[in-house]
Structure 1
């Protein structure tokens, strides 16, 4: 059993040792909702007769894999009890659920490793109210190792990591950067994310073709990992130093990655560096995140263009976007698929995106149930393989697959705060409500992107005249609502969003003889 503080990279340590010894390493992320079937296996439909698919323990013990049981202390008592035989010496495993009476032959390379954070510092899933301790009898079945993680107080650790991933002759740059990073008290995961993003950006086609200097790459990676909100500029010593050294400044990956031809072919998302600066900044960060192949969390108020921005960039990159809109009733099958009555397995949205190398977005991610979130941990860890629970299906993501999640935040009803251990695996982009100037510009641009029938010259001119009034009215109304309206049953205050504004414009465009005010009143009814 491996102990470490939260963000201590316990599973990465085990994975690295397994890779060096040329052994396959499986991961099973335990939650209170995990059932014994995930360990042993279960019967799944088949065109002729149901067939047995081994669970994580059954597969690892026969094939000689290493099995890492993540978040071991979160498992239910039923799961812990079912594990008892395999924790004994010698290990025994009988698949009684498959009507077997003889133990399976244990492969000599089989190993089982459990990971957990110390009880005093454990960060639980937001939905878990209790935090039970493991019994002494269970502890005694393990060899316990406390892993302290990287010694981030040592300058040599930083220098070794940077020189291994980013070999350079700029010794003064690396020495100064390491010294400044050491003073920021980063977690190992933050440091690894920063170096990993810098490495991938440095070796990307965009940076190579334009011969961009290393300090500019490091500055872009630093902003990507540590500055999620463009409205709250980061003024750390590291950033100030890199800004001084960077010849190209922070790299504009949107301009360098998305061609003018692609932008003109997909004008439904309105992005302008001068007129919509917050959306333009989000597009730059999202393009950099795509290059880094890391999961991205887009968070902000409803109808601020989070999902549509992902969709827009997917189209520009010739990728299909698969999507699951989470609710309290969303299940694992909505993500991965399920068996049909004829025994055929029908892939879900996430399975399809992984197998085809396309993009996937989980909307309203903070509404998803813990069982759904925890199944996604391997993807969020950057692993390419994932076993679909209770099916035996193993998915291998093709190159080009990207994972995105969107959410409105805990101010909205029913939303759960994401556990820090889960959230820390994302690169984050914060969205805010449109400013009045942004709103006015977007309203005018709707004449060329509207879904309504083709605009007339009269309507276009009329829209340009009333756009300032609409933008001013929306901001004024929302400000009054924010100041005076009380939230109902924990729900956000009911204001006008961009969705209502677009409906307003489209209704006017379809019935041009009806006054703007009358359309607004009908919309608010």
Structure 2
């Protein structure tokens, strides 16, 4: 018994020695922190905007307040009472922060009928004085806005035609129009103001008033619509904003670039002068980027949106429609570094903003995320698969997507103003047609300039395959016809409803990269790529039937393959 007790005492002594060593290291750490040296305490309580406003008597706006969690809002409830205060339990202080007499709290939110928006808790809502802000719709109010934007620029701005077009577009949006997500387009005051901002910025550059009107209102009111609805709004645009000509219907102004702006750092793309990044070399040509008529139209439309200023741009369309590639090509042509963030269902704000991580000395330091890096250094950033991320994560970007453009880093309390060359893009597949894609709130989408990208036409896809992959034109045409037939059978019989059986243009490029030399090799390579990933024999037989029926003089035997 005595031996066992001695062993237990020795173990206890070791634990006390270990504890004493830990306490010594902590004392050393705290001493270094007090002296301002490296290696001090890793964490310290940093007061946020709310605490600072309460202490110092600032006014505070809680934007999109009905996106916050109820337990977060309950922390604010005590401030809304007479003589309210704020308890900082995280800091370990018993005394609450008293509310400064000049402190005022404001909140703004969209109605809970929008996607992702919640009802405000009754206990919070009852403590607030509510004001409903209706949409500005009267011609008098809208005229004042147009005059405010264009009055200092033009002696006689076209106030009446612009107001008439805006009201006609609102009526069409409420009754007939559909955007790329199969929803009614959200034409708001922000949409109108961004169109007017484009006109105000482009007219001094020599583009001409009517072309500026056409371009500015096209990127804001037309580009987001499905292709079949775009002519309807284009007709409204021409009728109201283009000058009438005797016995001739109004036509879009010519897309010729004006004289080169003064100074260095400009490149002409699609009839628009875009600023280049002088820190990097612009790439004028890319042999892998094959320009066809539809690709050229997208490239020109994206250049028009970039020329509009630093507004965020959202490209929406089916998979493998070239959304990201056209952004990459424009970034290379203007000499901008392009960073890419791939969203997924578990994306969190840290992937955008950054997080604390240990440095080489073991001290925790803040490491910028891709978005923060782009904002600081003036890079371009593309948020791929935007509608795969959670709405709460995306709504945290609202402050950066607004026209005042700021990025707040809660972990450090820093608020960044973006570099002059910073530009934000996003891409997404339409919700509903692709698994996991969510419908974004109308208020969030309205912060972007939207561009709808449809599937590449079969003839152009054949040309791209032939030139990019260096295969015979006859092979490329047959491959595109195989894709079309498989997609037709998928939509009619649903045999390919599973994700693994879906064929896209990306599959065609993988198929072509196998470099088949004969139609038999082409069929075998296509079967290996398209059929072997399918789960059931009937599905593989469908692929074999299509290949044998569309490719000449081929035979496929599933057993030997």
1:49 alignment counterpart? 42
User: How far apart, in 2, do the equivalents of 1:98 and 1:312 lie?
Assistant: 50
2:182 alignment counterpart? none
- Say if 2:192 is the partner of 1:197: no
1:16 alignment counterpart? none
RMSD: 3.2
The match for 1:317 among 334, 337, 348 is: 334
Post-superposition shift, 1:82? Answer: 1.0
How is 1:222-371 mapped onto 2 (pairs within 5 angstroms)? 222-227=217-222, 228-229=224-225, 231-232=227-228, 233-236=230-233, 237-244=236-243, 248-249=253-254, 254-257=270-273, 264-271=284-291, 276-292=292-308, 293-341=310-358, 342-371=363-392
C-alpha deviations, 1:113-134, integer Å up to 9, x for none? Answer: 01234xxx532434x7xx5454
Is residue 268–residue 312 contact of structure 1 (8 Å, CA) maintained in 2? no
Is residue 361–residue 404 contact of structure 1 (8 Å, CA) maintained in 2? yes
1:420 alignment counterpart? 442
Post-superposition shift, 1:502? Answer: 1.5
User: How far apart, in 2, do the equivalents of 1:149 and 1:464 lie?
Assistant: 55
The match for 1:403 among 402, 421, 424 is: 424
- Relative to structure 1, is the Cα distance of residues 338 and 364 closer, same or farther in structure 2, using a 3 angstrom cutoff? same
C-alpha deviations, 1:117-168, integer Å up to 9, x for none? Answer: 4xxx532434x7xx54543x54443333333353x12x22222222221235
User: How far apart, in 2, do the equivalents of 1:229 and 1:281 lie?
Assistant: 15
- Relative to structure 1, is the Cα distance of residues 387 and 512 closer, same or farther in structure 2, using a 3 angstrom cutoff? farther
TM-score, normalised to structure 1, is: 0.76
C-alpha deviations, 1:230-257, integer Å up to 9, x for none? Answer: 7223324333333455773467863433
- Say if 2:511 is the partner of 1:504: yes
User: How far apart, in 2, do the equivalents of 1:108 and 1:133 lie?
Assistant: 26
Q: What is the DSSP-based 3-state SS (H/G/I as helix, E as strand, rest coil) of the residue aligned with 1:355?
A: helix
Post-superposition shift, 1:331? Answer: 1.4
User: How far apart, in 2, do the equivalents of 1:73 and 1:303 lie?
Assistant: 36
The match for 1:444 among 466, 478, 501 is: 466
- Relative to structure 1, is the Cα distance of residues 78 and 361 closer, same or farther in structure 2, using a 3 angstrom cutoff? same
1:122 alignment counterpart? 112
User: How far apart, in 1, do the equivalents of 2:154 and 2:74 lie?
Assistant: 56
Structure with more contact order per residue of length (Cα contacts < 8 Å, sep ≥ 6): 1
1:100 alignment counterpart? 93
Post-superposition shift, 1:200? Answer: 2.9
Q: When the two structures are aligned, how many residues end up with a matched partner? A: 449
- Relative to structure 1, is the Cα distance of residues 384 and 64 closer, same or farther in structure 2, using a 3 angstrom cutoff? farther
The match for 1:383 among 404, 414, 419 is: 404
TM-score, normalised to structure 2, is: 0.72
| Unaligned stretches of 5+ residues in structure 2 | 1-37, 174-185, 245-250, 258-268, 276-280, 533-561
User: How far apart, in 1, do the equivalents of 2:356 and 2:475 lie?
Assistant: 54
Post-superposition shift, 1:384? Answer: 2.6
Post-superposition shift, 1:83? Answer: 0.8
